[in-house]
Amino acid sequence: MERTEAALRCKAAKNVARPFESARRDNRREGFLGWSFQRPAATLRDMKAVLALVVLISFVSRADDTPGDVARLKQLDAYWGEVSRSVGTGDFAAYEATCHPEGVLVSGSKKSSSPLADALKRWKKEFDATKGGEMKASVEFKFSQRLGDATTAHETGMFLYSATGADGKETREYIHFEALLVKRDGRWKIMMEYQKSKGTRAEYEAL
């Protein structure tokens, strides 16, 4: 009798333990947060699906770059390259040719605006000094947004202007700026230059 009761208790204990054993096996099968470690094929399919989605998103994001946009940006890159070249060589005539005769210069720090032609008169002495070897100058541009069509463009970003005087002392200015350009007779010219505020090297390098 005692052996029978003991056998029944043992059988009952096994029946109680069986669900827990099954749960442990299921956990080993499914792994943490339901990820399957025993089914690599399913995981590989998931990874392929995610990769395909990333590629699709990348393709869609680039679909907005029409041939016209590509052509415009190529022309504008050449435009800013010419601005940089003229500043570095002290070629004032070439720099002046990149500006619209009715262009406007806006200064955020001075909270003012003035004809770009007036600013060119002030800047000419630095061009002459650079051309004469009395100083060195350079300007580089980086952009965060570039909008436009075949004949108009709005560029947003920063420029770095560096100048080294006869004493060998170098100054660097990081400037947030916006530029409005128009294309006339096949050439881009700046209509409005908005020097918004001073920036930092970190901000410039982050672009």
Extents of the domains making up the chain? 2-62, 67-206
Fold of 67-206: Nuclear Transport Factor 2; Chain: A, (3.10.450)
Q: What is the pLDDT of residues 148-176, one digit of tens each?
A: 999 999 999 999 999 999 999 999 999 99
Average of pLDDT values for 68-76? 96
**Residues found in the chain:** 207
Cβ contacts of 153 within 8 Å, gap of 6 or more: 72, 76, 146, 147, 179, 180, 181, 182, 183, 188
Q: By the 8 A CB rule, do 155 and 179 touch?
A: yes
Q: What is the largest CA-CA distance in the chain?
A: 118
| CA atoms in the 13 A half-sphere facing the CB of 7 | 4
Name the band, by pLDDT with cuts 50, 70 and 90, for residue 66.
confident
pTM over 0.75: no
pLDDT at 52: 57
CA distance 76 to 154: 11
CA distance 86 to 137: 10
